[in-house]
Structure 1
Amino acid sequence: MISVIIPIYNEKDSIDPLQRDIERVMKGLEQEYEILFVDDGSTDGSTELIREKETSSPAIRAIFFRKNFGKSATLNAGFQASRGEIIFTMDGDLQDDPEEIPRFLAKLDEGYDLVTGWKVKRKDPLEKRLPSKLFNAITSRMSGLNLRDYNCGFKCYRREVIKEIRLYGELHRFIPSWPTRRVSGWRRSR
């Protein structure tokens, strides 16, 4: 089974198209899957929409936080609740393209344990992109791992990698660099 974890915070307008795109890709792969929305205390109607979807499709599951705890908390909850042997994480803002899922799976087939994406056409404003570039450069230098986008939420993990991860604060940004520092034997790809 493949689990797709999607942290959601006020992404009501993105939920329908994201679900549709993921389902289309997954049906093409002919693999059992689940889409796990983790609502981080949304106030825009996302919660109600996800509840509707959860009752209308057996492939959709959800976790709801009463207030906003942040991305690390949502990912941690999703990791713990996911059922798949392969786990994807994707942001809920439509900047991650589900059409890339087969390419990530191909990397796993090559023997990698963690595959991370990057946003090619980032839709964020300049004041968000510049600090991100600086963060990526510093993190690459410190970890010795040259990744384009540590902040990208589009990642794929084998279950055994997830078992080693406990997130809090802003640690979700550093997941790709953990194998070089914490766990030997992981193979990463971008």
Structure 2
Amino acid sequence: MKEPINPAGYVSIIVPVRNEEENLVPLLAEIEAAAAGLDKPWEVIFVDDGSTDNSLDVIRGLARGKPHVRYLSFACNCGQSAAFKAGFDVARGDVLVTMDADLQNDPADISAMLALYEAGDDMVIGWRACRRDSLAKRWGSLMANRVRNSFTRESVRDTGCSLKVMRASMARRMPMFTGMHRFLPTLMKLQGAKVAEVPVNHRPRRYGVSKYGNWERLRAGLLDLVAVRWMQSRWFTYDIKESK
């Protein structure tokens, strides 16, 4: 049997949290159930992004007595990109998994995504083939994805899906900026990463409300598109032939 190209030794699951107090207990239970079948060490890192509800108290309770549950808490709201970056920096794993805290991503998909990673991909991104959101949100996401792909010369089906698996060493080398989370596949490809997409389960939100609307996404994304396109044109890599 052919050995996996990218054996995952330790998996870090990074979850940004912004006012999701009702979702956190069932989310951790689902993560623990999914991780039990991975047959490898793992951790989950909750990054509280300045929540104004009881999310931080819930996270503290979840982490009590559980060494596989870690958390960070920002002093104020910094955004999802900052939360991912903070998680990348403290993660112990050589493989990172990112996901939302709203229970719309399904932790049960992680195992199949890790299998693709271990077969040779540097990044595996979820594609919400059957979105369980409002028509307005689905339309806004579709339009944003088309504009983003056209401007960055990409063909990614669903950059907005937070459920992703990626090589930690490459993720930590990505240039970080506000809005970075919308361009993770493109930023990984700048380093030569092999990126795969896989359909994943998507569920309706049970508790809480979405933190962003279509206009907020559009306004925030326009300048980011220019920045990423500039990076694509100026990015360079090199291989060391010899050194002493």
Same fold (TM over 0.5): yes
Match of 1:20 in 2: 29
Aligned CA distance change for structure 1 residues 89 and 179 (closer, same or farther; 3 Å): closer
- Aligned pair count reads 188
Residues 145-179 of structure 1, C-alpha deviations (whole Å, 9 max, x = no match): 32221111111111221121232211210111124
The 1-side partners of 2:188 and 2:49 are apart by: 27
Matched, 1:186 2:196: no
Equivalent residue for 2:125?
116
On the 8 A contact 1:96/1:119 being kept in 2, the answer is no
The runs of 5 or more residues in structure 2 that have no matched partner are 1-9, 198-244
Cα distance in 1 for partners of 2:135, 2:79 equals 22
For residues 47-78 of structure 1, the C-alpha deviation after alignment (integer angstroms, 9 at most, x for no partner) is 00001111231100000012111100100100
User: Equivalent residue of 1:37, what SS?
Assistant: strand
Bigger Cα Rg? 2
The SS at the match of 1:100 is helix
Residue 100 of structure 1 aligns with which residue? 109
TM superposition shift of 1:15 = 0.6
TM-score w.r.t. structure 2 length? Answer: 0.73
Cα RMSD (Å):
1.4
More helix by share: 1
Alpha-carbon distance between aligned partners in 1 of 2:16 and 2:28, rounded to the nearest angstrom: 13
How far apart are the structure 1 equivalents of 2:54 and 2:82?
A: 20
Counterpart position of 1:35: 44
- Gapped regions of structure 1 (runs ≥ 5): none
Matched residue of 1:30: which SS?
Answer: coil
Task: Give 4+ residue runs of structure 1 displaced > 3 Å after superposition.
Answer: none
Aligned equivalents of 1:14 and 1:44: distance in 2? Answer: 12
Instruction: Give the equivalent residue in structure 1 for 2:70.
Output: 61
Q: Could you tell which deviates more after superposition, 156-165 or 38-47?
A: 156-165
- Larger deviation, residues 162-171 vs 99-108: 162-171
Paired-residue identity, %: 36
